[in-house]
């Protein structure tokens, strides 16, 4: 799993597409936010690019520390990254804690995306999703990204609904009495025997 051959064919094409989608500003925003949440000094100073970011986050320790700072009850332990199994376990602990924190499965990356450096963009997107969700949990530290929207259902009375049926909305348009009678475009269709 850790020793993947250099891609060619479809693998190389997918890798090139992922590299085109990668946004360095999003990466730096996510790393700066993590650094501020962890509050251990300049941990990610000078880290930029997919490979460097993957190398720093690969053991899952910093991800677990972020989750521990946001919600200590969800992150009970952090493994020391002395074996690949422990590193992947840290990543999985982080992902499980994110699920319990309220992130949707669509917002989470897979363990191999980070550990094998397959799709670092998904890792950065997960960090951004975590930053948005932290605002909903009352986290008063640094924020990352806009606040998530909340459901705002509307309720109308039957009287209001009946009034709405009588009004022609501007989106429907109005012909103001005009019709298409007498309009003729092009040549008249004739059927020849």
Q: What is the pLDDT of residues 34-65, one digit of tens each?
A: 999 998 878 777 777 778 888 999 999 999 99
Average confidence (pLDDT) over 135-152: 86
Q: Is the model's pLDDT at 124 over the cut of 70?
A: yes
CB 43 within 8 A of CB 69: no
The whole-number pLDDT of residue 4 equals 59
**Residue percentage of the chain with pLDDT more than 70:** 86
Q: Which residue has the tokens 């332990």?
A: 77
Handedness of CA 61, 88, 119, 107 (dihedral sign): negative
pLDDT-derived band at 19 (thresholds 50, 70, 90) equals confident
Structure tokens that stand for 22 in this block: 């990668």
How many Å apart are CA 82 and CA 85, to the nearest integer?
Answer: 8
Residue 102: pLDDT band by 50, 70, 90 thresholds?
A: very high
User: Is the pLDDT at 73 greater than 90, yes or no?
Assistant: yes
Distances (CA, A) of 64 to 15, 116, 193: 27, 18, 82
- Tokens at residue 133, please? 């969700």
H-assigned helices in the chain = 10-21, 24-38, 50-57, 61-70, 84-101, 111-115, 120-136, 158-166
Note whether 47 and 41 are within 8 A (CB). Answer: no
pTM of the complete model beyond 0.75: no
pLDDT at residue 84, as a whole number:
92
DSSP label at 107? G
Q: What is the mean pLDDT of the chain?
A: 85
> Among 8-22, 87-101, 177-191, which is the least confidently predicted range?
177-191
Band of residue 122 on the pLDDT scale cut at 50, 70, 90: very high
Given a contact cutoff of 8 angstroms between Cβ atoms, the answer to whether 81 and 60 are in contact is yes
Higher per-residue confidence, 53 vs 179? 53
Confidence of residue 132 (pLDDT cuts 50, 70, 90): very high
User: What is the four-CA torsion angle of 90, 96, 100, 105, rounded to 10 degrees?
Assistant: 130
Assigned token pair, 152: 């705002």
């Amino acid at each position: 799993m850790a020793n993947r051959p250099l891609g060619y064919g479809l693998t190389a094409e997918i890798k090139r597409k992922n590299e085109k989608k990668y946004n360095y500003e999003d990466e730096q925003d996510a790393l700066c936010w993590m650094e501020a949440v962890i509050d251990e000094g300049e941990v990610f100073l000078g880290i930029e690019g997919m490979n460097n970011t993957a190398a720093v986050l690969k053991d899952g320790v910093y991800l677990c520390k972020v989750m521990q700072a946001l919600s200590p009850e969800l992150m009970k332990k952090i493994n020391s990254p002395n074996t690949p199994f422990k590193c992947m376990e840290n990543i999985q602990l982080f992902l499980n804690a994110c699920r319990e924190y309220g992130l949707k499965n669509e917002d989470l990356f897979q363990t191999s995306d980070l550990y094998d450096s397959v799709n670092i963009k998904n890792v950065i997107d997960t960090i951004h999703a975590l930053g948005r969700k932290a605002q909903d949990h009352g986290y008063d530290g640094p924020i990352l990204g806009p606040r998530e929207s909340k459901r705002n259902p509307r309720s109308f009375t039957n009287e209001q609904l009946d009034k709405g049926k009588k009004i022609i909305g501007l989106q429907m348009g109005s012909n103001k009495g005009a019709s298409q009678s007498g309009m003729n475009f092009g040549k008249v269709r004739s059927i020849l025997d």
